Structure 1
Amino acid sequence: MTARPRIHFEFKSRSPSQREIADRLGLSQATVALALREHPDIPVVIRAEVKRVADEIGYRSHPDLRILPDHERTKLPPSRRPSLGWINAWREPARLARHPDYSGYWRGACKAASERGYYLEEFRLSPKATAEELEQQLQMKGFHGILLPPDGDPTILNLFPWKNYRIVCLSHHTLPFPANLVGPDQLGNFRLALERMHNSGYRRIGFLTDRRPEASNDKLSMAAFPYNQCDSLSEGHLPIATTAENPVPHQLAEWARSHHLDAILTDLPGAGLLLKRARLRIPEDLGLAFSCRGQIRGWAGIDCHPEEVGRLGVEILASSIHGDLDGIPSIRIAVEGHWHEGSTLPLAPEGN
């Protein structure tokens, strides 16, 4: 999916602007914007000069569009609506939009933002930017709130000035302060997937993922698999395989055969191709189910309702922006998934 482009809106009015104040004083527009808001990081002398020039040229700030009712904001052109930031901290930013689940988050969030009178804009964090450069870029954007999609690079995310924004995470990021979170019910979804696989006759189920958890980004699906094996749904505790530790196809094949697996549960959208390269036939050799199946027909697994995750993310963020959640502890919303049958997981052979 191609990210929605920024719509540049040019006012035809000749009314004075912040840019004109900045040009007169030799300042950046970001500094002028902060000075007009009495930001404490701007020296008092500069704030006074900015206000003097603003009065001199007749500059008048626009009213805070956040206080308008939703139906009033929706009448505004996109370029005049309050903007929400979609923070892309991936090392290869274009891959985020191609992810079958995360692109669903984006679609749901875009739709909800439009309905609430906001404009959602992708903002790509550059690993080469300094913290000061990033702060200046964000000030120019003027985001009223932030959505943080999954799997951002921790070293890039560490540059972000989180304390300055209202944030909703769409994954279990570990941030330096409490944050609201909306995401799939990974524990419940894994439980449901294992139950359905068990009901189809599979007993020796392994879990295939990309990597083990990192310090700054919890991988809840990794915890969900062994947690849900602590009952009669599987025979013993089977190992977890990661593509980071088993990068060569034959290593995956050896893992499956050495543990006598009859099925694999995975959170990797590309698992079918990986197993094909390992010369493991699906479903002849192994049953295969996905903990979040995306929109691919024929796959067995959980529909995580990614667009609903994105929609709820915007709803919580808008409530936070309007102050409706002030004084309330961090909110966690887990969106329940639903099972879909598919050709990758037929009934297991008799005597399996």
Structure 2
Amino acid sequence: MPNQRALAAQLGLSQTTVSRALRNHPSIPRETRERVWEGARLSGYRPNPQVSSLMEQIRQGRKPEAHSTIAILAGNNLKRSPKNSTIQRLYLGHQEQALEYGYRTEIFPLPSKLSESRELDRILYSRGITGLILAYSGENPSTLPQLTWDRYAAATVSDVSCQLPIDRASSDHQRNTTRAYNELLKRGYTRIGICLPQHSLHARDGYDNSWLAAYLACNFRQPKSRQIPVFTGTIHDTEVTRFQNWYQRWKPDALITLLGEEIQWLEAMNLSAPDDIGLVCLNRPPDSDFTGIDENNVQVGGTVCELVVSRITNNQLGLPTCPRRVLIDGVWIEGSTLPSRKPIS
């Protein structure tokens, strides 16, 4: 059975026009509505009554009742992660947006074996679940779920299961990093360094390396005497002495970090932010007093859910030929770790 997009292409109309015509919307001329309905009849297209009812409730401004389930495939870190972590905020976004569209959410363990994938496939099919979200868990899965993908509409965040061609939503890491770098320049900082985890440098491992790309581009535009190489490592896997050697060699006056955990290294070296060095977070923890970017992770999680619902609504099941990627701007938050070195013009 063709979907609405295929019907629109067949008739040479936009999908919006076809959608409105099938609802007999008064903004569409009667001749066009009749043409669309005739095309739908000849092609065998049938609107999904459940989806049509849901969308009508949304258009009327009524909050729909939960009528179906979106499965969230999650690793173990989802349950173990702290309340305000990136993982939990993304998950909250999945839940809230699903409810807005009239869906429940249910967590299923991310399968790691073929037998587990087959069992999950059987359960989802028997329950009529077509919407899937591959949740971010802070770790890249070693194996991809081996599901009958033609049955599902799926989406995920930017750096999960990168090998799988599905829709994604993400905080705009490149734009956020550029914003942070420019804020530092604007406030009079001239030697700007960055700390990134090792995995963020290797896109082939399935991780987004937009932080690195943006920093290198900004760094390249500075005089050579101010260019500082990237420090790779985190407090969880790197000795403080290596960071200390990098700091003493390059003498940065400002540091861009992801979560601000490097402040523990600075304290171990009897340094403080902001007295000795400016510090900016690219993924600022919401309960911290750091200066930096709020990644809007709840909105990112909600957008992932929107991508799934969009494909369900338009009967677009299966892996897309041209996956979509939606980037969400972060928000700059003033904190206590970045004073101006000169007046901001």
Same fold? TM cut 0.5: yes
Distance 1:146 1:227, change over 3 A: farther
Within-5 A mapping of 1:61-210: 68-70=53-55, 71=57, 76=65, 81-89=67-75, 92-96=77-81, 98=83, 100-125=85-110, 127=112, 130-141=113-124, 142=127, 143-150=129-136, 153-161=139-147, 163-164=149-150, 165-173=152-160, 175-210=162-197
Q: Which structure 2 residue ranges, 5 or more long, are not aligned?
A: 1-47
Q: How far apart, in 2, do the equivalents of 1:75 and 1:181 lie?
A: 25
Distance 1:262 1:324, change over 3 A: farther
Q: How far apart, in 1, do the equivalents of 2:88 and 2:302 lie?
A: 12
Q: How far apart, in 2, do the equivalents of 1:308 and 1:276 lie?
A: 34
How far 1:124 sits from its partner (Å)?
2.6
How many residues of Structure 1 are paired with residues of Structure 2 in the alignment? 282
How far 1:305 sits from its partner (Å)?
1.2
Distance 1:325 1:316, change over 3 A: same
How far 1:99 sits from its partner (Å)?
5.6
> Which of 215, 218, 230 is the aligned partner of 2:204?
215
Give the 3-state SS of the residue equivalent to 2:251 in structure 1.
Answer: coil
Distance 1:146 1:276, change over 3 A: farther
How far 1:320 sits from its partner (Å)?
0.8
Letter in 2 for 1:82: S
> Which of 322, 337, 344 is the aligned partner of 2:337?
344
How far 1:325 sits from its partner (Å)?
5.8
Distance 1:193 1:173, change over 3 A: same
Distance 1:133 1:109, change over 3 A: closer
Give yes or no for contact 1:253–1:279 (8 Å, CA) kept in 2: no
Distance 1:99 1:258, change over 3 A: farther
Give yes or no for contact 1:112–1:315 (8 Å, CA) kept in 2: yes
Q: Deviations over 1:83-134 (max 9, x none)?
A: 11222235x443445462232222222111011111122223265xx21223
Q: Percentage identity across aligned positions?
A: 20
Alignment pair present for 1:239 and 2:225: no
Q: How far apart, in 1, do the equivalents of 2:207 and 2:159 lie?
A: 6
Alignment-derived partner of residue 267 in structure 2: 276
Q: How far apart, in 2, do the equivalents of 1:162 and 1:312 lie?
A: 24
Give the 3-state SS of the residue equivalent to 1:270 in structure 2.
Answer: coil
Distance 1:116 1:155, change over 3 A: closer
More helix by share: 2
TM-score (norm. length: structure 1): 0.69
Distance 1:87 1:248, change over 3 A: same
Q: Deviations over 1:226-251 (max 9, x none)?
A: 13323239922422321289611232
Worse-superposed segment, 93-102 or 254-263 = 93-102
Alignment-derived partner of residue 286 in structure 2: 295
Give yes or no for contact 2:167–2:325 (8 Å, CA) kept in 1: yes
Q: How far apart, in 1, do the equivalents of 2:265 and 2:241 lie?
A: 10
Give the 3-state SS of the residue equivalent to 1:69 in structure 2.
Answer: helix
Q: Deviations over 1:149-186 (max 9, x none)?
A: 33554454424437353221212345444211111111
Give the 3-state SS of the residue equivalent to 2:205 in structure 1.
Answer: coil
Q: How far apart, in 2, do the equivalents of 1:285 and 1:124 lie?
A: 46
Within-5 A mapping of 1:29-68: 68=53
Q: How far apart, in 1, do the equivalents of 2:177 and 2:148 lie?
A: 31
Letter in 1 for 2:73: I
How far 1:74 sits from its partner (Å)?
6.2
Q: How far apart, in 2, do the equivalents of 1:65 and 1:74 lie?
A: 15
Give yes or no for contact 1:135–1:161 (8 Å, CA) kept in 2: yes
Within-5 A mapping of 1:241-260: 241-243=232-234, 247-260=238-251
Alignment-derived partner of residue 330 in structure 1: 323
Give the 3-state SS of the residue equivalent to 2:159 in structure 1.
Answer: coil
Q: Deviations over 1:60-92 (max 9, x none)?
A: xxx99556415499665x6xx3211222235x4
TM-score (norm. length: structure 2): 0.70
Q: Which structure 1 residue ranges, 5 or more long, are not aligned?
A: 1-62
RMSD between aligned residues: 3.2
